[in-house]
Amino acid sequence: MSIAPTNEVRILRSREELEAIIPAWMDATVHPQAHPEVFFRLCEADDVILRPHVPVLLNDDGSIRGMMVSRLEYSRFVRSGRYLPIPQPMAKSVIVPFDGIIGSHAAESAPELLLALLSSMDAGEADVVDLPFLPLEDPIRKSLLAMDNGRFRNGTANKNVHWHTDVADSFDEQLKTLGKSTRGTLRNNLNRFRRDFEDRFEIRLYDSNSDLDEMMDLSETVATKSYHRGLDVGFSKSIRERAVYEGAHAMGSMWARIILIDDKPAAFIHAFKWKRRLFGTYMGFDREFTKLPLGTIVLFESLRLMCEEDQIDTWDFGPGEAEYKSRICSRFDDEEQRTIFARTLRAQRIRATTIAFSRTEGAIKAILKKLDLETKVKTAMRNRVRAQPGPTDQNR
């Protein structure tokens, strides 16, 4: 079927309706998570995802004027840290992924697109709209803040920091972007690693021409021994994860580096490559091989190769606090993500529960920081996880 350009927002709810705009959609994509190859595979692989729910405006030439690459899913509504792991309510959510608001006039169209989503939500199609993180100075965010009805302004705000590093022309120049102490420690660790494991290690490179199954199997071997798995974060071979990786592989965006020691996988790092940018930092490492920081080593050995290859300009590490990001990234943006609830009794109950939970979680975190115990608690939690056998693959 064809979609005629129109001044009104249409919400497309099936793959069949979206097929006609795929070429224009691919041209407008900024982030691999919002690319049709990833979007459709994810929607079709995971049972909790009900269907696409995509508001779109087209230009007269059929290109994307404005689009929110969103999906409707029924899943547990989680807004938590690591200190209060209690069950969360289920919600029917409209999810807009990273950089999922796209188009030639994305900022101008964003209020119309959001109003269409909110109208469908209030009519009973969903409980909540989960928008992506946006830099505070992003024109899209400013346009949404200026909406007359105030629902974006009054949405639940979640602030974070988004980290980036610019890839230098040489590895020596890359290291100069680091602080003197960090640079010295890093050089010592990299040199010691190469000295201790000379002729025993290999850095295996994977892209969309490589064997995806091999890459995922080797990474899974490491992930099962990483503390990330016990905390239910990081890489796994779940059906949902597999769908995203297959989409990235199909669109030519797959990128991974795996360190093998004595032919056994010891550490990995994954990201998605798109238009000379690298997105994400899935990492894992097995501490049984060495006390050296293998996560940092695989990251900077990857940066060394990047400087030599000249295929990447910027590494987008994504939102989220992490000590390693603040030490190695060259710049950051303050960002904000907003969640808007439907005007239904069920949605308002979910909102009240979530607010209460978030406040309690925030109070616990504030107390730990005040007592200078946050790092100790996180370390204790990680050590406890390391002492436990890793869980088996699960469908998340």
Q: Give the Cα-Cα-Cα angle 219, 223, 228 (nearest 5 degrees).
A: 140
Residue 253, pLDDT score: 95
Residue 357, pLDDT score: 73
Q: Name the stretches of the chain with pLDDT < 50.
A: 80-81, 83, 385-396
310: amino acid identity, one letter: D
Beta bridge partners of 84: none
Residue 47, pLDDT score: 86
Residue 104, pLDDT score: 96
Note whether 10-158 and 168-312 share their fold.
Answer: yes
Judge contact between 358 and 351, C-beta under 8 A. no
User: Using DSSP, how many helices (H) and how many strands (E) does the chain show?
Assistant: 14, 16
Only one residue has tokens 């691999």, namely 32
Residue 391, pLDDT score: 35
What is the homologous superfamily of the domain 168-312 according to CATH? Gcn5-related N-acetyltransferase (GNAT) (3.40.630.30)
**238: DSSP letter:** -
Domain 10-158 bears CATH identifier 3.90.550: no
Dist. CA 213–CA 207, nearest whole Å: 12
Listed by start position, the domains of the chain span: 10-158, 168-312
Cβ neighbour number for residue 84 with a 10 Å cutoff: 14
Residue 382, pLDDT score: 54
Residue 22, pLDDT score: 96
Residue 265, pLDDT score: 96
Residue 87, pLDDT score: 60
